[in-house]
Amino acid sequence: MKILFVIGSLRQKSFNRQLANEAKEIIGDRAQVVELDYSDLPFINQDLESSEHAAVARVRKAVVDADALWIFTPEYNFSYPGHVKNLLDWLSRPVIPMDYATPTCINGKRVALSGAGGKMATAKSREKLTELLTFIKAEVLPEQMGIAVPAEAWGTDVLVLTDEQKAQLKAQAEAILG
């Protein structure tokens, strides 16, 4: 089984990346974990849809090849970051331009959502992501988890999970592994 990780933060010492690393450890050798590199994806532009843009094709192939996606993302202004929206906009478009009959690469894909952020523990970000993913016909897993990053973590740049948070992450891993 192959699980594609999407990290929604570009920050070098990202807490969401640290959360993803914990999840990877929990999964262990029960699945192959691959991180999606979408750093070279252009801004969504319908002019580019007619050409086979290399980064778009590569990102879509990574999604097609994966059995499930696991998105780890912060909350930006009560929503998810713009680059995550840009990625999902690309995934929502027909693989063959203007061919709306063929399913998109995200259609029916199982997606798990986790996030590390402020006081709301990314609740708004995950709520809005759930809405978007459902609209583009992905299957959002009901098991989600969010962390309100404790103030001291900003001093150390290290996110230490509580036992309860580790258990939540494990429950998500079990759900995604089926």
Ligand X SMILES: Cc1cc2nc3c(=O)[nH]c(=O)nc-3n(C[C@H](O)[C@H](O)[C@H](O)COP(=O)(O)O)c2cc1C
**Residues present in the chain in total:** 178
Assign residue 108 a region (left: φ > 0; alpha: ψ between -120 and 50; beta: otherwise). Answer: left
Site for ligand X in 31-70 (CB under 6 A): none
Q: Does 144 bind ligand X (CB under 6 A)?
A: no
Answer whether 17's CB lies under 8 Å from 23's CB. no
Binding residues for ligand X, how many (CB under 6 A)? 16
* Spatial distance between the Cα atoms of 149 and 109, rounded to a whole number of angstroms: 29
From CA 107, how far away is CA 84, in angstroms rounded? Answer: 17
94 forms part of the interface with ligand X (CB under 6 A) = no
The reply on whether position 161 binds ligand X by CB under 6 A is no
Closer residue to ligand X in complex, CB, 76/166? 76
Q: In this complex, which beta carbon is closest to ligand X, that of residue 33 or of residue 159?
A: 159
Query: Starting at the edge strand that comes first in sequence, how are the strands of the sheet with 68-72 ordered?
Result: 32-35, 2-7, 68-72, 110-117, 139-148
Whichever of 57 and 158 has its CB closer to ligand X, that residue is 158
Question: Which one, 16 or 172, has the nearer CB to ligand X?
Answer: 16
Residue 16 binds ligand X, judged by CB under 6 A: yes
Among 27, 116, 129, 176, binds ligand X (CB under 6 A): 116
Q: Is 128 in the site for ligand X (CB under 6 A)?
A: no
Beta bridge partners of 116: 147
Sites of contact with ligand X (CB under 6 A)? 9, 11, 14-16, 74-78, 116-120, 149
